[in-house]
Structure 1
Amino acid sequence: MVKRANGHWAERIGVVVLVAVLLGGAAYGWAELRALLSGVTTSTALDGRARSGGDTNILVIGLDSRLDERGEPLPAELYEQLHAGDQRAGGYHADVLMLLHVPADGGHPTVISIPRDDYTDLAGCPGGVCQGRIKEAYGYAFAAESHRLAAQGVTGVAAREQRSRDAGRAAEVATVRQFLGGVVVDHFVEVTLVGFFQLAEVVQPITVCLSGNTRDSYSGADFRSGQQRISAAQALAFVRQQRDPQHEFTDLDRERRQQAFLVSLAHQLKESQVFGDPAKLGKLVSVAEQNIAVDSGLDLNALAHQAESFAGGDLTLASLPVERFEKDAKGEDVAIVDPEKIRAAAARLLGRAVPPPPAATAGPAVDVVNASGREGVAARVLKTLPSRGYRAGHVANAKHTHHTVVRYGRGDSASAAKLVAALGGGYGLGYDSALPAGELKLVLGTDFREKAGQVEPVPAAPVSPADELSGGGVPCVR
């Protein structure tokens, strides 16, 4: 995707391919299908991690990358078809995150979509970054590992690519597990951008349904109300549409489009004879081999026995609640969530007991000193501190200074660094022996980048955890 705004449409293919495997396996034969998929990239990122031992949870990661699994550019003609930029575009954000839950007792599977811009703690502080959008855990860990390998003299592109991706996969899995309240992630499926278009080409036309007419010159979307059959090129516009002059679209609307497309594609795979057509089946397998990676422990045979209900369309697709949307210090979109609501929603959807909220801990107190010359900025920042895990201290004014710095006393360097990261990074740290333990002082200089919308963040209607789609038929979305 050429622009950042496009970076969340095509990677949904991971769930789609997995559903395709589950739907088609019964008709084609699991042993034969497993043999055909033997060329799919396998990863050791989850080796040695504990499994749930009962239900199966599979994290689907849609990777925003314009490179293949070996780190090599795609064919030039493919870049031209995608209209998404070349190998210089994109990156390593997990722009799609979906948790596929398959009950051990044969119950109906559930797919939980996790909005990519949810602002949260990043497990293990990958690359030294402790807070950010949930999608960024992958990229920070990838970059840190890539730099480490380069320093060690690892020059092979393919080897460095996969080892760096393994670091990203491990960080993303750990962050999602933490975000959902300790949910065990047994396996993962990772897919890159190009897979969507190539799979859509194999199975087109695909039936989708919209609740109203919509048009978007930016993505090329031009659809009428009701059911319609669309081509692979139109499918790109369907799932990447981000605006309409008549409606306000958000990431949650695009997320619902993704889910609806998944259901529609699953329906198309059942209705068509893809798995009975050697040519189409070969193309489908080729898509998987070139654009998908799975953990080494994923056993398609075992998964098939747990997921027979896929074939009947008994699939629930659910979204997690978002409180509001804001801009971070860098001007990037972030989704603000309530961690307790997230854990409760995940527990309900996965049939688990709701975990108790973490024990309340009194974080460091932060005094905010306004040396920026901008009226009221210290008070505005102070209001945000409790939501970041800090106790709000006092505000004061001081002579103008250019550099923003967080000062800390003995034993509080980590808390100070975390505050700098929460403010967007790039600010200074300074030891101050006069500060007692458990107290920080944030001095705002003229270089401080105040978040847009910090005073009066624009709320979005929270998405209820009960806001779900059924996997049967072709659902209508806006």
Structure 2
Amino acid sequence: MGIVAVLVLAGAGYGWSAYHGLVSGLRTSNALAGESASLGGDTNILIMGLDSRLDENGDPLPQSIYDALHAGDQQDGGYNANVLMLLHVPADGGKATSISIPRDDYVDLAGCPDKQCKGKIKQAYGLAFDAEHKKLVAQGLADKTQLEQQSREAGRKAEIDTVRQFLGGVPVDHFAEVTLVAFFQIAQVVQPVTVCLSEDTQDSYSGANFHKGQQQINAQQAVAFVRQRRDYVHPSLNFTDLDRERRQQAFIASLAYQLKQGGAFTDPTKLQGILDVAKQNTAIDSGLDLLALAKQAANLTSGNIAFVTLPIDHFGKDPAGEDVNVVNLAQIRATVAQLLGTPTSSAPATTAAPASARPPSATVDIVNATSRNGLAAEVSQVLAAHGDTAGKATTDTRHLSHSAIYYGSGTADAATAVSSALGGLPVQPDSDVPAGHVRVVLGADFSLPATPASASVSTAPTPAPAADSGDAPSPLAGGGIPCVK
């Protein structure tokens, strides 16, 4: 919501001083330093909503805030990124797309934070935070604020890398981090907000108690509105986490529409209140040029945006018995590529040949062009099990989006077999690769194919879809007050 306010500052007649005042007060991060940017002037912004019940310095919040949030106290929550939205803003001024990533999608965690290589996508932040925090304490860092922020930097980077990897190497140009308390505080400034529901619903866990149709809600109710994911009073509604994603989208769409229609962005007091809150419990990357972004995307508040939720394949359990969303990775990446208008690899996935028919092995060199530590060695071990000779395993200083296999003289068949073992990576000859060698370059889109040892996610029956829910909800349009479950 802070970003929404920034995007229309120019249209509201605010000049450089207003922008400068906002930037100078916002907490900035270098987690994206050195990363590659989108091509053609498009902009991708990852919005991360943290589950933390602490402030930016790691201190507890006032009890009055905990009482209003209806979400426990400093002992609850954590550093999970419970909200993940990728906002894609085209350079040509076309319709923007906000892609919601369900928080419980079971994925490969970039860099294996805290020595955990698979988990819910939301966990990458907290695991990396924990690992960095323990390391810094062991090194003797005692300043609480520095411990908090340096640990958060590790969490931000791990979460961004995991999302990028999951979506197939999609560039993340900028990010915004918002805590639960920041959402509440901004809602206090802009309340009341009109929302619309298709049915009566009630939930004691989140504090939700809403009636069918349009209604105005205050800040405390707004937190309940975007957090609700169950209703034991009306079990036929069959709530899932995907419905919470839908609620978040609907709230943002409704708020943007109302602020624009109501002229709130021309009210200096209300606008300054939003910006003041944004400085307290949010963070953005240091490279975000708010002036340039405002010129590129000011029309978002007029409804030129579509909200999409990524599909899941089915609900299941991870090896620890926790509920997860099992996803079809190829479907996810194809969906994202279509939404963003980016090309996908045309190389067909092939089936690995039986050992008796496998071509002669080659010396396979692995180049890790990602931020995932130890990936080259891991892939080398996998290929060695297939009968290939392990060559050099190195880490490139560059981070590439796409993976590929290159082969030297006499190893075309071996390269094809390596491609099959790694899920069908594109293959091409390269005169720079020595004879008898194959070079595998691992980009952000790479993930190891499932094996009997790693494919240990059990399945559970998928709940019967209810209205406005399901594995692939239809896109939700901006520019109005959408009615949702």
TM-score range, shorter chain: 0.7 to 0.9
Q: 2:340 aligns with which of 350, 360, 370?
A: 350
Name the residue aligned to 2:260: 270
Structure 1 stretch displaced more, 215-224 or 63-72: 215-224
Cα 1:75–1:464 shift into 2, 3 Å: closer
Correspondences of 1:183-194 after superposition (within 5 Å): 183-194=170-181
Distance of 1:163 and 1:86 partners within structure 2 = 23
Correspondences of 1:134-149 after superposition (within 5 Å): 134-149=121-136
Cα 1:231–1:456 shift into 2, 3 Å: closer
1:469 aligns with 2:476: yes
Paired residues of 1:345 and 1:465 also in contact (CA < 8 A): no
Cα 1:212–1:265 shift into 2, 3 Å: same
Q: 2:276 aligns with which of 286, 293, 303?
A: 286
Structure 1 stretch displaced more, 336-345 or 238-247: 238-247
Cα 1:39–1:328 shift into 2, 3 Å: same
Paired residues of 2:71 and 2:206 also in contact (CA < 8 A): no
**Structure 1 spans left out of the alignment, 5+ residues:** 1-15, 366-388, 390-408, 413-439, 443-449
Cα 1:441–1:228 shift into 2, 3 Å: closer
The residue identity in structure 2 corresponding to 1:469 is L
Cα 1:206–1:136 shift into 2, 3 Å: same
Distance of 1:357 and 1:106 partners within structure 2 = 32
Question: For 2:209, what is the secondary structure of its paired residue?
Answer: strand
Distance of 2:354 and 2:58 partners within structure 1 = 43
**How far 1:49 moved relative to its partner?**
1.2
1:84 aligns with 2:71: yes
Q: 2:48 aligns with which of 40, 57, 61?
A: 61
In the TM superposition, structure 1's runs of 4+ consecutive aligned residues that sit over 6 Å from their partners are 409-412
Paired residues of 2:194 and 2:217 also in contact (CA < 8 A): yes
**How far 1:273 moved relative to its partner?**
3.7
**How far 1:80 moved relative to its partner?**
2.5
Question: For 2:52, what is the secondary structure of its paired residue?
Answer: coil
Cα 1:364–1:466 shift into 2, 3 Å: farther
1:162 aligns with 2:152: no
Paired residues of 1:112 and 1:318 also in contact (CA < 8 A): yes
Distance of 2:459 and 2:50 partners within structure 1 = 34
The residue identity in structure 2 corresponding to 1:313 is G
Paired residues of 1:219 and 1:240 also in contact (CA < 8 A): yes
**How far 1:356 moved relative to its partner?**
4.2
The residue identity in structure 1 corresponding to 2:19 is R
Distance of 1:455 and 1:88 partners within structure 2 = 32
1:202 aligns with 2:189: yes
User: What is the percentage of aligned positions where both structures have the same residue?
Assistant: 58
Name the residue aligned to 2:367: none
Name the residue aligned to 1:49: 35
Distance of 2:37 and 2:92 partners within structure 1 = 17
**Structure 2 spans left out of the alignment, 5+ residues:** 356-378, 380-386, 391-450
Name the residue aligned to 1:108: 95
Distance of 1:330 and 1:41 partners within structure 2 = 36
Distance of 1:279 and 1:250 partners within structure 2 = 38
CA RMSD for the aligned pairs?
Answer: 2.9
Cα 1:465–1:86 shift into 2, 3 Å: closer
Alpha-carbon deviations, 1:124-160, whole Å to 9, x = none?
1112111111111111111111111111111111111
**How far 1:61 moved relative to its partner?**
0.6
**How far 1:30 moved relative to its partner?**
4.8
1:339 aligns with 2:329: yes
